[in-house]
Amino acid sequence: MNDVRDRSHRLNRANGIARHGRLRHRHPLSTAMQVLSGVAAVALVSSASVAAIAAKQVTDDLGEGVQIQGQPAPKAKGATALSSYKGGFNMLVVGTDNDPEQGTAYGERDATLNDVNILLHVSADHTNATAVSIPRDLITPIPGCQKPDGSGTTPAMAAQPINSAWGEGGLNCVVQTVQGLTGLPVQYSAAVSFNGVIEMSNAIGGVPVCVAQPIHDRYTGLDLSQGTTTLQGDQALAFLRSRHGVGDGSDLGRISSQQVFLSSLLRTVKSNDTLTSPTTLYKLARAAASNMQLSQSLNDIGTMVQMGRALQDLPLAQVNFVQYPGTTGGTGVYEGKVQPSTELATQLFTKIKADQSFSLGADSTGIGSESAASAGQPASSGPAAGSAAAPTAPAAAPSAPAAAAPSAAPTPAATASSDTIDGLQGQSADQQTCSKAFGS
């Protein structure tokens, strides 16, 4: 029996491809770490001397929040707490491609797709984290979801590309789908559009990105010379959206190229004055709050403060960016899509659920990136690189008493001895990498 529901009558879509309206190949890219930088920004701005004004303005920007099935009603918003978040958490960041406020600047579309889905897990002791990028064309069941207007529930579907979940019920339906796929509860979620990526990259002052060969992508207008360029604004968005300019021209190649940006972004935030500059933090907080849809659970400054403080001390060597494992070249419902690699996915999520750190095998960077050494580019020698090797994890002990024992501290030796998951594509945040140009 065929469980795939034909929706062509509603969206006038061709079979077997992800549709984006009249202009092809226009895909969104947002980053979990930009949103999390915004969370950290709210945390530190609210404790600065301009706390009263900043907190009020950011709160006004947040709006009402999106109700997520299975999550309790939000508590009354109280005074901002300055302590770190207690325990671990999972946060889903969704990138959408069809914000009404952006008009037709990025093409006209007949539907909104959740083309970017990044699930961040932070361990209970705040010593390691994993960000999982889920390919937009990964085939998975989509459960029945409450409609945003409250008029009922959509029918459950089997074997659908995950980027169709938004059209079935917005952010809530993406959360329900990811929970079913990963087996992890998603306590917090946020959706960001093209404008959000632009404004947050501007607020942070740009992100240095290495490319191994010149990158030219006429679809996004990206034109980069070989070497390292600091990207912000429209150029940062073009880089994050570029598919035809990197790797093999696929979304999977783009994900590994994105991880070059993500890891550099995190190194930048932790090494420069972003986390200590009230002006920069305020700009970032306003940009994040003004350009995101937040779940009701995240739509509170006190919660953001606690999460932000928990994230500040994460050691870079213990932060992994990985791609949800999958293969191409399948048949039937998997033709032209991504088929989950269930055995490898089970290994990954068993580690995540147990809060266990892990390392990646050799040559894990994927088809859209490579190590800086392989690209013939010098690795950064500034504080961003040094911060990865410094064993500073014990600083997180006040918020995680169970991790206070010396043996629990994530030292470089502990990282080296952690279990390796061979076959995963990705990199750690302290790894210096470069994007590979298309066809290289």
Read off the CATH number of the domain in which 99 is found: 3.40.630.190
Distance, first Cα to last Cα, the chain: 43
Q: Is the pLDDT of residue 310 over 70?
A: yes
- Would residue 399 count as lying in a domain? no
Residue range 262-277, pLDDT digits in tens: 899 888 887 766 666 6
Question: How many domains would you assign to the chain?
Answer: 1
C-alpha dist (Å) from residue 22 to 30, 139, 245, 264? 22, 24, 21, 34
With a cut of 50, say whether residue 21 has pLDDT above it: no
Buried b (16+ CB within 10 A) or exposed e, 338-365: bbbbeebbebbbebbeebebbbbeeebb
pLDDT reported for residue 48: 37
Q: Does residue 82 lie within any of the structural domains? A: yes
Whether the Cβ atoms of residue 267 and residue 429 lie closer than 8 Å to each other:
yes
The count of residues in the chain is: 440
Could you give the 3-state DSSP secondary structure of residue 253?
helix
| Burial class of residue 307, CB neighbours in 10 A (0-12, 13-18, 19+) | buried
Q: Give a yes or no: residue 90 inside a domain.
A: yes
Query: Rounded to whole angstroms, what are the CA distances from 393 to 2, 274, 341, 425?
Result: 51, 20, 33, 26
> Of 121-125, 152-156, 214-218, 267-271, where does mean pLDDT reach its minimum?
267-271
Q: How open is the CA angle 377-383-385, to the nearest 5 degrees?
A: 45
Please give the biggest Cα pair distance in the chain.
64
Q: 150: Cβ–Cβ under 8 A, 6 or more apart, which residues?
A: none
State the pLDDT at residue 205. 86
**pLDDT band (50, 70, 90) for residue 278:** low
Strands (E), 49-184: 89-96, 114-122, 129-133, 139-142, 157-161
The residue type of 157 is M
d(CA 199, CA 35): 11
**Residue 56 located in a structural domain:** yes
The answer to whether residue 324 scores a pLDDT higher than 60 is yes
- Asked, for residue 14, whether it belongs to a domain, the answer is no
Cα 227 → chain centroid: 25
Tokens 């750690």, located at residue: 428
Helix (H/G/I), strand (E/B), else coil: 204: helix
* Choice among 2-6, 34-38, 70-74 with the minimum mean pLDDT: 2-6
pLDDT at 100: 56
- Please state whether the predicted TM-score (pTM) of the whole model is above 0.75: yes
Please tell me the distance from the alpha carbon of residue 44 to that of residue 38, in angstroms, as a whole number: 10
Q: In 3-state terms, what secondary structure has residue 114? A: strand
Can you list the alpha helix ranges (DSSP code H) found in 359-406? 383-389
Give dist(CA 293, CA 314) in Å, integer.
Answer: 26
- For the ranges 99-103, 274-278, 333-337, 414-418, the lowest mean pLDDT is seen at 414-418
Residue 54 is assigned to a structural domain of this protein: yes
**Gap between the Cα atoms of 263 and 411, Å rounded:** 19
- The pLDDT tens digits for 116-140 are 999 999 999 999 999 999 999 999 9
- Least confident stretch, 90-94, 279-283, 351-355: 279-283
In the DSSP assignment, the letter for residue 414 is: H
Both tokens of 289, joined, read: 């709050």
In degrees, rounded to 5, the angle at the alpha carbon of residue 102 between the alpha carbons of residues 96 and 104 is: 100
* Alpha carbon distance 367, 272 (integer Å): 30
Boundaries of domain holding 117: 24-389+404-435
How do residues 350-381 score in pLDDT, each as one tens digit? 999 999 999 999 889 999 999 999 988 876 53
CA atoms within 13 A on the CB side of 53: 6
Query: In the structure encoding, which two tokens stand for residue 387, read together?
Result: 């911060």
Run of H or E including 308: helix 301-312
Is pLDDT of 11 > 70?
no
pLDDT at 22: 39
Whether 398 is covered by a domain: the verdict is: no
Question: Which candidate, 107, 94, 106, 103, places its Cα nearest to that of 163?
Answer: 94
241-260 pLDDT per residue, tens: 999 999 999 999 999 999 99
pLDDT at 98: 62
pLDDT, position 14 = 35
pLDDT at 410 over 70: no
Q: Each residue of 219-251: b (16+ CB within 10 Å) or e?
A: bbebebebebbebbebbbbbbbbbbbbbbebbb
Query: Cα angle at 353 between 351 and 354, to 5 degrees?
Result: 65
Ordered alpha helix ranges (H), 163-300: 165-182, 194-204, 233-241, 251-271, 278-290
Q: Enter the tokens of residue 272.
A: 């420069």
Q: Are strands 215-217 and 319-323 parallel, antiparallel or unpaired?
A: unpaired
Residue 75 lies in a domain: yes
